[in-house]
Structure 1
Amino acid sequence: MSQIEPSKRFNLSRWALEHSALTRYLMVVLMVLGCAAYFQLGQDEDPPFTFRAMVVRTYWPGATAQQVAEQVTDRLERTLQEVPFADKIRSYSKPGESQIIFQIKDSSRAADVPGVWYAVRKKIGDMRGTLPSGIQGPFFNDDFGDVYGVIYALEADGFSEAERKVFADDVRQQLLRVPDVAKVELFGVQDEKVFIEVSAKRLAQLGLDFSAVLAQLGQQNAVESAGAVQTPQDVLQVRVGGQFQAVEELRAMPIRGPSGAQLRLGDIAEVRRGYVDPPSVKVRHQGQGVIAIGVSMGKGGDIIALGKALRVATARINATLPVGATLAQVQDQPVAVSDSVGEFIKVLIEAVVIVLAVSFVALGLHKGGRFGWHVDIRPGLVVGITIPLVLAVTFLAMWYWGIGLHKISLGSLIIALGLLVDDAIIAVEMMVRKMEEGYDKVRAATFAYEITAMPMLTGTLITAAGFLPIGLARSMTGEYTFAIFAVTVIALVLSWFVSVYFVPYLGTLLLKSRPHAAPASAVEGAPAGGHGDGPHEMFDTAFYNTFRRAVNWCVAHRWLTIGATVLIFALGIVGMGRVQQQFFPDSSRPMP
């Protein structure tokens, strides 16, 4: 057969070969930029996503649960029903307290959530005047997205709770200066209170009214302005003195009795300094009471770099703490993320080695040589070069679109790794086949584009479309798993581009033209059409003949083949129903 004339349409592979200097430049630059982008990607355990829930809490001291439900909770619920994207409202009313959990629809965009929370605050602020007097709040909590990946325990044996709090506040201020730290929260802090315990029997004996005692306390400790004194140089503020500075001053406060006699507060009540009892939050580490310090990373940060910076900071902080106070690490998420990334690199290397081994054998195995068969490593080497090239460009695209390294994107890369080599293998195999048929390297490379470029692109887009439901899902789950769609599609489309642009160039550099066997007509001395020495197809192998017979049988028994296909599909659906459904497998990481 004669060599097919090149098509006059635009051929990207031919353009890449005609501009070989630009092709070499782009390949090197993309590889370097991709490697640099990999180290700039943010690393975290989970992808960022937006919580669509808010807690509205209101306090009404002295009110019963029924009063709270009717006069506070019910009014707040009616107001929340008017908020855009409102979905679920759950409320709990108990004596003195109302708690409402407000959830918006999963279909709401992440960018709209801050606006919804602003609308909640505004609407409730407008109707707050209709709530009973004496309520405290409402208070809003929508910071559910804060993940404290690093937690420390401040141990201070022999120090009081107040002294521990002073140490914890100082540690918090220093940790906030660490790069990528967004928030530092203290847990288990025991707030100090001054308790005044008055015996009702004692008050009755003295003829005192407890309300009058409280009123005198409030008047004495009030913070009031007494005006200002204006001088030619300045304006001096005048304030009423007498505020309590110590517990002893509070004990010595005079209380007027009903007969006009003055009593000391310490004579009728026990005044002492203490802590909130019972404590709202109590943290223990190794059996001892501690203050837990949680560190949250900023959005888009690198958790591994944050872990290194925190280790340096905590070493410096421990050196400044007094003897007996230490900062022990309880939770270390950077180590877990580092192990996850290391596991990906291990799997990636294993996959590359397996792909290279299969490519070397499948593409380079030929008859001949000392043992009857030999392996040409050049076709497999072309495929092996495309793997890091595609990954490098994928990392560059991930950096550009702000996709970090986490369990979803790393899993997507592993999924895509088995798919991104398909186009390169097809392109290389076509070049090798045409070179065996007698085509020169350039013609074989351009011929591969003409025959396989559009089918490869169609197959790539169809595979990418299989992940489209994840990308279009308007829900919290879709937002969490969006990287599966984004990373897989990016890797597959880039693998097609690399296969039609860089692979032909690499093939002309690395592939070796092998002498092709003459067609049967030439061997018999009767060339067909005068083209006995021209290029021809090499499809006379045992594997090809066996495969062709199988295809011919399926075509001849088409209804049986269709029936078997439908039956296998039905069995697959039935089997899928028996598979355990779980969004993520159970975590194997031990709890601290």
Structure 2
Amino acid sequence: MSYIDLAIDRSRSTLMIMGVLVLAGLISRSLLPIANDPHIVLPYFYIGIPHEGISPEDSERLLIQPMEIELRKIEGLKEINATASEGYATIFVEFEPSVDLNAALMDVREAVDRGKSEIPTTAEEPVVRELDVDDFPLIQINLLSAGASERQIYETALSLRDDIESIPSVLSADIRGDREEVLEVIIDPQALEAYQISSESLVSILQRNNRLIPAGSVDTGQGRFSVKVPSVVESASDIMDLPVQVSGDSVVTLSDVATIRRTFKDRTSHARFNGVETMTIEVKKRVDANVIDTSEAVLKVVDEATAGLPSTIRVVPSQNTAEFAQVQVTELQGNIMTALALVMVIVVAAMGFRSGVIVGLGIPVSLLFSIIIIYQLGYTFNFMVMFGMLLGLGMLIDGAIVVTEYADRKMSEGMDHREAYAEAVKRMFWPVTASTATTLAAFLPLIFWPGISGQFMRYLPVTVFTVLTGSLIYALLFGPVLGSIFGKPTVHSAADQKTMEELDHGDPTQLQTITGAYARMMAWITGHPLTTVGTIFTLLFCVFWSYGKFGAGMVFFNDSDPQFISLSVSGRGNFSESEVNDLVLEVERQVLQVADIRSVNTRTILPGSGSGGGRSGGAVNDRIGSIFLELVPEWDRDRDGFAVVRELRERTGNFAGIKVEVSAMEQGPPVGKPVQIELRSRHRELLEPAMLRIHEYMETLPELIDIDDTRALPSIEWRMQVDRAQAALFDADVQAAGVALQLVTNGVKVAEYRPDGADDAVDIRARFPIQDRGIRAMDDCASVRVRGKSP
């Protein structure tokens, strides 16, 4: 007894199994995370090393080179790209695709830990993280001020961030446009001179009086007691009462020579929403999180958290990618349902209602079977999966049609419906299996496509495989069982019955029907094999020749109408924070005049502020601003997104001193700029002239746009030369001169403290008043008293 006889004899059990599969498919669909794009694991790791005030040359020599020595010891390493900039060192590590990335991440962290012992102790803790395509924010929450102070906005943003990060599906919520808190000790240089206190000794006192002292414990014989020395700064008043000098019975405290205030660090960036200053919370989801559900949860938390806010603070969400995902899923699911309905209509019209329904049920069963496998594989429900389902939809009922048609023929000949479907499966098992296998064989190589592109495209063949596998199971198992229960022979007219008899026992070329015309054509083709083969090869050659001659060329991934557009503003030079803001603001004003834009999020970046930059093929960090646009939905505008891109390029292409790159958000796997040229030489001085010549040549090519390079940024640098011998006469050294110089620039970080209600430690920085800072004050910093002597 074959399996089909057993299945038909136990039809209730077979149908129960099919019902369980359908139920499991529906549950899997409800649990399947929805995403815009397939999740791709990138073999890249990012290492960022902040070091305040370090020059690009020192960053390369003291930060990057020691780390590179340790990173090169890792097995499976493919390439290291590093960028040294003012205040920051950035290293991107690429591994071979075959390497276990979890083990690679551990190796990178261990290498960084070893390298930390070789870099200056003044450097901050290195940041190590794995690059992920899901780093793109899911949604942005903008906090706008309508009369509220910066601190009110900041505290509201912190509270809202904590509420959002409490959502299980949220990976992180990062605040942009804010400034770090700092406890500033504003030193009066005249008071220092009056009390004859050196700046270096004052800084040293502040550092020594904010240390955790483990005093230990005392055993008295009647008990053991711990001893505590309260020595850590807990509030601003603890610093104000610190003694800085003792003369006889009089004690000079810090409050006598300085004022203390809790404020924010100097601004290095701005964030704006639709031209208004804002603090923005960028929300990122976890890899396995549902885009739509996570977005709804975030918006719900925002509504609840902001219900009691004062009217001086407005909260506006923007850049909600879940809306785009919802539209995409709805449209593709609608296309699938439309295709299903059309297929059902055609099948029912051609085979009759009863047979058509038996065949048509294979569509939902196969799709739900596919969803079960996709869910078990850990895939998301994205457009590649839906496209695979749509592609397989036209092929999945072929086997069911063949089996049902043959069984219908047998029933018309008088065979019992149970026997007819069993005979149909036995007779058509190998033809149907071979037909499905040949189709699957065409998609099999795509599953083994290597690299990042392979990860992205793999969703398509896997989906087609699962859909067609489900259709094969239905065609050879569930469909025949249904037919054995509900199937009845189709009532044929006398003419149809005569045609079938002639097909079985007569000459089909004599039929005066479409079938007869097809039979006569095949008879002629098989009778002239050389002519047929020659014609086929001629047509094949003409197709390839015509495409090469008149075709539009080839693209890796077709461009779709963009919903999001980004602008990158770059400039080279010694820009101040206000100059950067003004330059980006000019670009923003032009952008706001363009129609069909729903929201505009702008961020300025001060070069050398230690932002580190992002990955852009190794390009140098000369970016001074970025603008991210969300267009109104395509059904609400009269032009496509590419027309908006062209208008933006026309409006922003003629700014003096800056360069604006306009790019639409790309679909498909991340590839960056399509053309990248790397130059290598043991002699660094030879690289920049060669790079300049290549850059100038590429600028002459009209096909290329948005060209950049990694040449060093042109800038003016001030250097203070310390005469060590002369400094020694006044009991001074380079350290003392450095402290004096820092007091007139960014200030000296003397300690940290953690106030109540703060999540992170707050820096304590000593510096001179604003009127005693800047370039002019640098000439006078040498006269600052050092170690009790004035030069």
TM-score by length of 2: 0.63
Map 1:168-247 onto structure 2 (within 5 A): 168-196=157-185, 208-228=197-217, 235-241=225-231, 243=233, 245-246=235-236
Q: Tell me the amino acid that sits aligned with residue 554 of structure 2.
A: Q
Map 1:293-442 onto structure 2 (within 5 A): 293-361=281-349, 363-364=350-351, 376-442=352-418
Q: Tell me the amino acid that sits aligned with residue 130 of structure 2.
A: D
Deviations 1:347-390 (A, max 9, x none): 122101211222233x33xxxxxxxxxxx333322222221222
Q: Which residue number corresponds to residue 367 of structure 1?
A: none
Rate the CA distance shift 1:419–1:128 in 2: closer, same or farther, 3 A: same
Q: Which residue number corresponds to residue 722 of structure 2?
A: none
Rate the CA distance shift 1:587–1:213 in 2: closer, same or farther, 3 A: farther
May I ask how many residue pairs the two structures share in their alignment? 557
Residue 557 of structure 1, aligned match among 494, 510, 528? 528
Rate the CA distance shift 1:518–1:471 in 2: closer, same or farther, 3 A: closer
Q: Which residue number corresponds to residue 140 of structure 1?
A: 128
Residue 80 of structure 1, aligned match among 47, 63, 71? 71
Q: Which residue number corresponds to residue 16 of structure 2?
A: 25
Q: Tell me the amino acid that sits aligned with residue 425 of structure 2.
A: Y
Deviations 1:431-472 (A, max 9, x none): 333444554433432332233221221121221122222211
Judge conservation of contact 1:378–1:512 (CA < 8 Å) in 2: no
Deviation at 1:122, TM superposition (A): 0.9
- Distance of 1:309 and 1:329 partners within structure 2: 13
Q: Find the residue that maps to 1:136 and give its secondary structure.
A: coil
Q: Find the residue that maps to 1:507 and give its secondary structure.
A: helix
Q: Percent identical across equivalent pairs?
A: 20
Deviations 1:487-540 (A, max 9, x none): 1101101101101112223334133343686999x99xxxxxxxx99x867954
1:488 aligns to 2:464 (yes or no):
yes
Structure with the greater relative contact order (CA < 8 A, sep ≥ 6): 1 or 2?
A: 1
Deviations 1:22-51 (A, max 9, x none): 233233333233223221222222222222
Q: Which residue number corresponds to residue 515 of structure 2?
A: 544
Rate the CA distance shift 1:252–1:353 in 2: closer, same or farther, 3 A: same
Map 1:60-139 onto structure 2 (within 5 A): 60-61=51-52, 63-108=54-99, 112-139=100-127
Q: Find the residue that maps to 2:397 and give its secondary structure.
A: helix
Between 559-568 and 222-231, the greater mean CA deviation after superposition? 222-231
Q: Which residue number corresponds to residue 526 of structure 1?
A: none
1:155 aligns to 2:144 (yes or no):
yes
Deviation at 1:225, TM superposition (A): 4.2
- Distance of 1:258 and 1:559 partners within structure 2: 115
Deviation at 1:83, TM superposition (A): 1.6
Judge conservation of contact 2:412–2:490 (CA < 8 Å) in 1: yes
Q: Find the residue that maps to 1:586 and give its secondary structure.
A: coil
TM-score by length of 1: 0.83
Q: Tell me the amino acid that sits aligned with residue 148 of structure 2.
A: F
- Distance of 2:76 and 2:561 partners within structure 1: 33
Q: Tell me the amino acid that sits aligned with residue 589 of structure 1.
A: Q
Judge conservation of contact 2:446–2:458 (CA < 8 Å) in 1: yes
Judge conservation of contact 1:449–1:500 (CA < 8 Å) in 2: yes
Deviation at 1:139, TM superposition (A): 2.8
Judge conservation of contact 1:11–1:446 (CA < 8 Å) in 2: no
Judge conservation of contact 1:225–1:240 (CA < 8 Å) in 2: no
Q: Which residue number corresponds to residue 491 of structure 2?
A: 514
Deviations 1:561-591 (A, max 9, x none): 2222223333444527744313253353244
Q: Find the residue that maps to 1:502 and give its secondary structure.
A: helix
Larger Rg: 1
Deviation at 1:196, TM superposition (A): 4.2
Judge conservation of contact 2:212–2:232 (CA < 8 Å) in 1: no
RMSD over equivalenced CA pairs, Å? 3.5
Rate the CA distance shift 1:117–1:132 in 2: closer, same or farther, 3 A: same
Deviation at 1:346, TM superposition (A): 1.0
Q: Find the residue that maps to 1:493 and give its secondary structure.
A: helix
Q: Which runs of 5+ in 1 are unaligned?
A: 1-9, 365-375, 524-531
1:471 aligns to 2:447 (yes or no):
yes
Q: Tell me the amino acid that sits aligned with residue 559 of structure 1.
A: L
1:457 aligns to 2:426 (yes or no):
no
Q: Find the residue that maps to 1:235 and give its secondary structure.
A: strand
Q: Tell me the amino acid that sits aligned with residue 512 of structure 1.
A: P
- Distance of 2:255 and 2:403 partners within structure 1: 94
Q: Which residue number corresponds to residue 164 of structure 1?
A: 153
Judge conservation of contact 1:12–1:449 (CA < 8 Å) in 2: no
Deviations 1:189-246 (A, max 9, x none): 3112234455778867875532222222323444434555668677344224584733
Deviation at 1:63, TM superposition (A): 4.7
Residue 292 of structure 1, aligned match among 267, 280, 291? 280
Q: Tell me the amino acid that sits aligned with residue 304 of structure 1.
A: I
Q: Tell me the amino acid that sits aligned with residue 169 of structure 1.
A: L
Deviations 1:374-424 (A, max 9, x none): xx3333222222212222222223333333311111111111111112112
Deviation at 1:113, TM superposition (A): 0.7
Q: Find the residue that maps to 1:83 and give its secondary structure.
A: coil
Q: Find the residue that maps to 1:503 and give its secondary structure.
A: helix
Q: Find the residue that maps to 2:138 and give its secondary structure.
A: strand
- Distance of 1:52 and 1:518 partners within structure 2: 66
- Distance of 1:516 and 1:43 partners within structure 2: 50
Deviations 1:541-575 (A, max 9, x none): 51111111111222222122222222333344452
- Distance of 2:223 and 2:85 partners within structure 1: 57
- Distance of 1:518 and 1:188 partners within structure 2: 80
Rate the CA distance shift 1:269–1:389 in 2: closer, same or farther, 3 A: same
